[in-house]
Structure 1
Amino acid sequence: MALIATAGAPHVLVIAGSDSSGGAGIARDIETVAAFGIRSCVSVTAVTAQTHTAVTSVEFMPARLVAEQISAAFATNRVAAVKIGMLGTASTVAAVVSSLQAYPDIPIVLDPVLASTSGRPLLESDAIVRLKADLMPLCTLLTPNLNELGLLCDAKTATSDEEVCRQAQELVSCGVRAVLVKGGHAEGRQSTDILFRPGRPPIRFDAPRLGGGARGTGCMLASAIGAGLAQGLSLEDSVRRAKRYVFQIIERSADKARAQVAPCP
């Protein structure tokens, strides 16, 4: 779909790091948001050199530059939602908090990128404290996977629904309006994401678990939710549509992989 750049059209502001492989990060965010007919504007928090299997180098942007990019994005475009990914440092978290406090009515989706798929830490330990205390209360939705959920709660990775519920409620108590716990890395035939909100029963979003090790699915899900919120969908409808979109992308990728290894006739 061809998108015409117009300042009056709704935009999703993506605050995240770049992935030189294109498999995750800002490249994946922009691609996902565009799939829903929405434009993006960006604030780059870090530049990385990485492949699909390892991160070889990370350079964090100065917090001042991150804040200036956010200010320029708001000055130029009609920002209708914000998606936050990799932040890296406590000073960057502080800069993002300071920049977004002026826009309390704009929905914010935070995908808490704590480490790369290969295990390299991507958020400093003191930044996690600032993330929970200062940034989460500004957010409409937090989207941790099970490992991130445990790290944010300073606990072991949850292995039961009861543990997931307890840890999610702990994060809700930090002030975030909703937590979507992603189950893509769990066991079982179903990939189940669970939405927790204060004073409301949890909502489960199920999809068949597909094989393969697709990267960037967390970026895709959070960005697709951000696109839905920018279009005026409810949080629940945004999550449901995003879950379906990511499943379809993984399904097509799996079908393509199977076709590539099929025997010649």
Structure 2
Amino acid sequence: MTRSTPHMLVVAGSDSSGGAGIVRDIETLAAFGIKASVAITAVTAQTHRDVLHVETIPPDRVVQQMHAALTANPVTAIKIGMLATTATIEAVAKVLANHPDIPVVLDPVLVSTSGGMLLTPGSMAALRDLFGSCTLITPNLPELSRLTAVETAGARENAAGQARRLIAAGVRAVLVKGGHDDGMESVDILIQPDRADQSFAAPRLEASMRGTGCMLASAIAARLAFGDSLATAIATAKAFVHRKLSEG
């Protein structure tokens, strides 16, 4: 490696099962040769089937962790996952406002794979407000449906239209993940203002794995930390997740 190893800050919740959350993030960053700093937003007791308990970290402690990480290391990208509460979302937004040059990838964690709620009721508006501070958000189809208050995202064409509503509201870029769609391929769509939509396809696999959303967002942020363009980072990250699913 000719350049120094990048540092990345992960702001997310912990998952005691190791299947998702900050454990999956750090695992992904290690695969890309990224040094991880962390700000834990919530401690969850989870199995691969159930969320048993969620203990949120006070927002000022989340901010303290972020400030410490940003002071200690030359952070070149930030990945955000579970934020849990309105107060934490608003606190994180204030930190990001002081670091506008650092690319931020946000995976809007609303519900666990097992169905447990990971965002408190009434926090959706604050989460949408945070999107304007992010380089990219990466909702899957059910998340997109909740974010746009539309009952179902439906086909890819409808999902792209919903994503454009977020763009119109000030979001800089949306990657709609197609894992919940049908078809022989899993197709993710990148929507940006004043640009043609870009598609990233991979053969659909029978395999399943928890934490693929964490993995994809972290992999994208990792490549942004190395200086890749957004489209290149997404293509590399999607290939990485597909390979991990194939191995699994």
**Shorter-chain TM-score tier:** over 0.9
Q: Give how far 1:160 is off.
A: 2.0
**Residues 23 and 216, structure 1, Cα contact 8 Å, conserved in 2:** yes
Counterpart of 1:244 in structure 2 is 239
Determine which of 110, 117, 121 is the counterpart of 1:121: 117
Of the three residues 101, 104, 117, the one matched with 2:100 is: 104
Q: Does 1:212 align with 2:207?
A: yes
Q: Which residue of the other structure, out of 137, 148, 162, is the alignment partner of 1:167?
A: 162
Take 2:102 and 2:121, find their aligned partners in 1: how far apart are those partners? 28
**Separation in 2, partners of 1:173, 1:82:** 24
1:116 Cα offset (Å): 0.7
Root mean square deviation of aligned Cα? 1.0
TM-score with structure 1 setting the length: 0.91
Does residue 154 in structure 1 map to residue 137 in structure 2?
no
Amino acid at match of 1:45: T
TM-score, with length taken from structure 2: 0.97
3-state SS in 1 of match to 2:123? helix
Match of 1:141 among 136, 142, 145: 136
Q: Which residue of 1 aligns with 2:194?
A: 199
Measure, in 1, the Cα distance between the counterparts of 2:124 and 2:136.
17
5+ residue gaps in structure 1? Answer: 1-7, 254-265
1:136–1:174 Cα contact (<8 Å) kept: no
Q: Could you say which residue in structure 2 is the equivalent of 1:3?
A: none
Cα shift at 1:158: 1.4
The question of whether the paired residues in 2 share the 8 Å contact of 1:190 and 1:206 is answered with yes
Q: Which residue of 2 aligns with 1:45?
A: 41
Distance 1:184 1:199 in 2: 26
Of 195-204 and 155-164, the range deviating more from structure 2: 155-164
Task: Give the structure 2 partner of residue 85 of structure 1.
Answer: 81
Task: Give percent identity, aligned residues only.
Answer: 54
Higher radius of gyration, 1 or 2? 1
Q: Which of 56, 64, 70 is residue 60 of structure 1 equivalent to?
A: 56
Number of aligned positions between the proteins: 245
1:183 maps onto 2:200 in alignment = no
Distance 2:157 2:244 in 1: 30
Query: 4+ residue stretches of structure 1 with deviation over 6 A?
Result: none
- Output the CA distance in 2 between the equivalents of 1:215 and 1:109: 19
Query: Per-residue deviation at 1:125?
Result: 2.7
Indicate the SS of the match to 2:234.
Answer: helix
SS in 1 for 2:11: strand
The more displaced of 138-147 and 203-212 is 203-212
The alpha carbon displacement at 1:162 in A equals 2.9
Superposed displacement of residue 119, structure 1: 1.2
Shift in Å, 1:10: 2.0
Instruction: Report whether the alignment pairs 1:221 with 2:230.
Output: no
Q: Is the Cα–Cα contact under 8 Å of residues 160 and 176 in structure 2 kept in the other structure?
A: no
Other-structure match for 2:127: 131
- In 2, the alpha carbon distance for the partners of 1:207 and 1:98 equals 37
Structure 2 match to 1:258:
none
What is the distance in 2 between the residues matched to 1:140 and 1:227? 13
